[in-house]
Amino acid sequence: MHARIVSAIVVALSLAATPAFGQSKDKAKAKESTAVTKVLLENDKVRVTETTFKPGDVSRTDRKARTNYVVTDGKLERTTKDGKKSTYERKKGTAIWMEADSDVVKNVGKTTYVVVGVTAK
């Protein structure tokens, strides 16, 4: 599994050829998030986080472009700024490129969802 995480980091760094967008400091949005994010690694080149969504948890933060590595299967609902909702499933062991966004993500599944995010600075 560690080799896959390292691969996700390499992919993120190689794809991040453009400057990343600044992260919002909107404290009201951050207070509404219930997903738990912990920083696994941070330096002047990269930030690696692990976010855990229990069923019903939401993430409401602005995010830079990144690569996500799915640690556990999950069923998620994404709500965009304009109110559009979409539901999708993520499969364990996949890496996904995510553009910068400020969408609300909610775990609508019955199990805890864990994802590792790799953001180049």
Q: What is the model's pTM? A: 0.73
Alpha-carbon distance of 61 to 82, in angstroms, equals 16
DSSP-assigned beta bridge partners for residue 76: 88, 107
Per-residue pLDDT of the chain (121 residues; tens, 9 = 90+): 556 665 556 544 444 433 444 444 444 444 578 999 999 999 999 999 999 999 999 998 788 999 999 999 999 999 998 999 999 999 999 999 999 999 999 999 999 999 999 999 9
Residue-wise pLDDT for 45-70, tens only, equals 999 999 999 999 999 878 899 999 99
Contacts of 43 (CB under 8 A, 6+ apart): none
For residue 35, give the CATH number of its domain.
Answer: 2.60.120.10
Count: domains in the chain: 1
H/E stretch holding 10 reads helix 2-15
Q: Which domain holds residue 38?
A: 2-120
Contacts of 120 (CB under 8 A, 6+ apart): 12, 13, 16, 20, 45, 46, 66
